[in-house]
Amino acid sequence: EDQVTQSPEALRLQEGESSSLNCSYTVSGLRGLFWYRQDPGKGPEFLFTLYSAGEEKEKERLKATLTKKESFLHITAPKPEDSATYLCAVQAGTGNQFYFGTGTSLTVIP
Amino acid sequence: DVKVTQSSRYLVKRTGEKVFLECVQDMDHENMFWYRQDPGLGLRLIYFSYDVKMKEKGDIPEGYSVSREKKERFSLILESASTNQTSMYLCASTPGWPYNEQFFGPGTRLTVL
């Protein structure tokens, strides 16, 4: 069965304290791995798509990387406005379905 | 910018009522999706549609049906609402492969009493 697991469930950081969020997956025929940010009471907002192992994408303080088994979302010198839940999703095989992890809730303390 | 709108932000219904949730996207996207999101369970796919009048069941279709009569509009129907359908409902759309990033609506918080 296809699975996506995110860790940790929750993460508290001091402002400026860099860290990484993990998304591990067990799927056959990965077509894409997606990162989203979700603020409380809102829909997820797209951040990155990664297609193949070794690929990296960056946006401001965020950098996403991909290996054959997992993806990392690195947050460099985070600010309080980076506080949100970060979701990972994969699309695999020939279907149109996406499989989501349960997310990492990030809190950045001033 | 792609915009996905949902008909209501908050909805309160009674057990047994028929409930309609509507989603509209304005960018001519091929694929549309309905998810529900519950604490600790993440996003679970209810139904998706890859073309007008076409639909496929997701992981948890029981108790739900969908309708897609026009490309921009995807409706989720709860035939007879039950308390275990209290949840956040999220609609999403994608242009189609290889551009498969999902654009989400703001969500509908449904409470069934």
| pLDDT tens-digit series, residues A60-89 | 999 999 999 999 999 999 999 999 999 999
Which pLDDT belongs to residue B2? 64
Closest CA to B94 of A28, A4, A98: A98
Ranges under pLDDT 50 in chain A? none
CA of B107 vs chain A CAs: smallest distance (Å): 6
Ranges under pLDDT 50 in chain B? none
Which pLDDT belongs to residue A71? 97
Q: What are phi and psi of B98, to 5 degrees?
A: -90, 10
Which pLDDT belongs to residue A1? 60
| pLDDT tens-digit series, residues B7-23 | 999 999 999 999 999 99
CA of A86 vs chain B CAs: smallest distance (Å): 11
Partners of B111 on chain A (C-beta within 8 Å) are none
Which pLDDT belongs to residue B78? 97
Partners of A36 on chain B (C-beta within 8 Å) are 102, 104
Q: Which residue in chain B is spatially nearest to A10 when comparing CA positions?
A: B40
DSSP B41-102: TEEEEEEEEEETTEEEE-S--TTEEEEEEETTEEEEEESS--GGG-EEEEEEEE-BTTB---
